[in-house]
Each structure stands twice: as C-alpha cells, then as structure tokens.
C-alpha cells in the first residue's frame, strides 16, 4: 500500500477557527456609546466644537448637577417615566391580546389584522390632532399616544411569532390530545415568546420616542418640557442633558428587555449564545 503523505509531513491538529462571534464581552453594549462620548470630549477640548452649538461634556455634567440640586431633573424625569410606564402598561397587554386573538382564530385575524396594519401605516403624528380633540392635552392623551405606539410592534412581532410556530408541534399537540388551554399554555405562548420579546424591544424604544412627541406639545412637566423650555432660552447644555437622558433611558430599558430575553429563552442555543 502506498502512503499519499509521507509521515514527516504530518502537522499538529490546529484548533479550528470558530465562526461564532466569540465570547460575550462584559458590558459590551457600553463600548460604542463610550467611544462616542470620547470623541465629543476631544472635540470640545480642542475647540473644534463651539459651545454655543454643542456644550462640552463637562458643562453638561455640571448642569446635570445643578438640575439635580434644585430638584428639576428628578421631577421631570419622574413625570416622563410615569407616562412611559403607563403607556407600556396599557399597550403591552393590549397588543398581546390582539395578537393572540388574531393568531388563534381566522375570525380574529379577519377582524383585527386589517385595522392594526392600517394603524401601522398611519404615522402616529397624524393621529395627534384627533387625539387632542378627543382627549384634550392632558395626561390621558399623552399616555394614549404612547400606548397606541406600543401596541403596534407588540402585535406585529407576537403575531408573527405565533404564525411561525412549527406545524409539527401542532401535530404533536393533536396526537397527545392536548386541551385547547394546555395547547395555548405549552405550545402557543412559549412558541410566540421570542417574537413577543423582540416586539418588546421595539416597544420600549417606541415608547420613549412617542414620549418626546407628546411632551413637546403643551406640557408643564417632563424631560421634553424641560428641553423645550431650554430651547427658548438657548441653553444647549440643558437640551443635551435631556438628550443624554433619553438616550440612557432607551439604552437601559433595551438592556433590561434583553436580560429578560436571555433568562426566558435559556432553552435556545443560538449564535448569540
């Protein structure tokens, strides 16, 4: 027998290069934002950024200190957080229930899916005049705007998750004669959970987005109000405090959802690991 390769050319087996993204970085989601802040600080320090257009990071920090000292920041933050919280509290269950009703019955889909798709196609801002006429300019209107904005992504992604549940699992449920309630509990809800959680990530982002819109209209409290007031006095530092705050709130609520996601979907072994 002939050896195609002489023995002396044998090489050490190499550790195979992994195609996965690698081990998760600690607090990896902070790296990008920190880089951005570093560039901003460098720009301000070298004078490339005019403080009348963009205050330096340290000015923003001292302004934040002042706003905290006189209590304005806490008060406005509390109003904003409350609006978003209530908007989510109404929007998430509503979106989930609509998705379940529409995903589990043809009648539900026929009645619900169309209106939600239409709502999705209409820009939220276009609904504002009507909502103001109906609900006035008080808290009710603001929370409704946020809740309506939240319903859409929750509905879309939960419904999609429901509809993409593998038909083979439905077949299994039939052969083991699951009751309808058990079918929903054991197959439908866990199967739709990844979709729902994706919807949640869009929902929290959307909620902060619609908060800004709602707060810029005739508010007397909230981060948006604080920023709008700063605009009339030309205080870029206060505006920046607001922007950074919105950014941080969005970032942390997204991180919170992702944490829940990792816990709830621990059965999955995916690329994200």
Partner 1 sequence: MATDTGRLTAAAVRIHGLTRSYGERVILDALDLEIPAGEFVALLGQSGSGKSTLLRALAGLDYDVAGTGRVEVPEQVSVVFQDARLLPWQRVLDNVILGLDGAEAKGRASLAEVGLGGRERAWPNELSGGEQQRVALARSLVREPRLLLADEPFGALDALTRLKMHALLRRLYEQHRPAVLLVTHDVDEAIALADRILVLTHGRIAAEQRLDGGRTHSEIRSELLRALGVRGETR
Residues that bind partner 1 (CB under 8 A): 168-169, 171-179, 182, 186-187, 190-191, 193, 265-269
* Cβ-based nearer residue to partner 1, 58 or 268: 268
3-state class (DSSP) for residue 189: helix
Return the number of the residue (23 or 168) whose C-beta is nearest partner 1: 168
The string of DSSP letters for 37-61 reads: HHHHHHHHHTT-S-TTTS--HHHHH
State which residue, 233 or 267, has the beta carbon closest to partner 1. 267
Least Å distance, CB 79 to partner 1, is 39
**Shortest distance (Å) from residue 177 CB to partner 1:** 6
Residue in the structure block whose two tokens are 């929750």? 154
Nearer to partner 1, 12 or 266 (CB): 266
Q: Could you give the CA distance from residue 248 to residue 256 in angstroms, rounded to a whole number?
A: 12
Beta carbon of residue 106, minimum distance to partner 1 (angstroms, whole number): 15
User: Alpha carbon of 147 to those of 9, 36, 85, 209: distances in Å?
Assistant: 68, 32, 10, 12
**C-beta of 178 vs 243, nearer to partner 1:** 178
Kindly give, in sequence order, each residue whose CB lies less than 8 Å from that of residue 149, ignoring residues fewer than 6 positions away: 87, 91, 124, 206, 207, 209, 210
Closest distance of CB 260 from partner 1, Å: 15
Relative orientation angle of helices 124-135 and 139-163, to the nearest 10 degrees: 130
Kindly state the smallest distance separating residue 265's Cβ from partner 1, in Å. Answer: 8
Q: How far is the CB of 18 from partner 1 (least distance, A)?
A: 19
How many Å apart are CA 193 and CA 157, to the nearest integer?
9
Q: Is 117 helix (H, G, I), strand (E, B) or coil?
A: helix
- Coil/strand/helix, residue 233: helix
Q: For residues 17 and 106, which CB has a smaller minimum distance to partner 1 in the complex? A: 106
Residue 206 is encoded by which pair of tokens?
């959307």
């Amino acid at each position: 027998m002939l050896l195609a390769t002489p023995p002396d050319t044998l090489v050490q087996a190499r550790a195979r290069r992994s195609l996965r993204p690698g081990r998760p970085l600690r607090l990896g989601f902070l790296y990008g934002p920190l880089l951005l802040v570093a560039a901003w600080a460098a720009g301000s320090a070298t004078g490339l950024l005019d403080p009348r257009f963009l205050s330096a990071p340290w000015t923003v920090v001292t302004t934040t200190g002042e706003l905290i000292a006189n209590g304005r920041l806490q008060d406005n933050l509390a109003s904003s957080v409350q609006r978003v919280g209530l908007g989510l509290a109404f929007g998430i269950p509503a979106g989930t229930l609509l998705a379940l009703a529409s995903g589990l019955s043809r009648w539900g889909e026929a009645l619900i899916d169309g209106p939600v798709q239409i709502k999705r196609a209409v820009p939220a801002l276009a609904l504002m005049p009507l909502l103001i006429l109906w609900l006035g300019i008080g808290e009710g209107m603001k929370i409704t705007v946020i809740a309506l904005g939240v319903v859409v992504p929750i509905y879309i992604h939960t419904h999609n998750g429901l509809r993409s549940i593998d038909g083979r699992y439905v077949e299994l449920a039939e052969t083991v004669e699951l009751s309808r309630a058990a079918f929903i509990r054991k197959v439908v809800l866990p199967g739709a959970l990844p979709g729902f959680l994706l919807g949640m990530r869009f929902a929290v982002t959307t909620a902060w987005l619609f908060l800004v819109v709602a707060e810029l209209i005739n508010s007397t409290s909230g981060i948006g109000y604080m920023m709008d007031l700063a605009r009339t006095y030309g205080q870029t530092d206060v505006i920046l405090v607001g922007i950074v705050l919105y950014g941080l709130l969005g970032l942390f609520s997204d991180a919170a959802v992702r944490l829940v996601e990792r816990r709830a979907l621990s059965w999955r072994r995916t690329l994200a690991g």
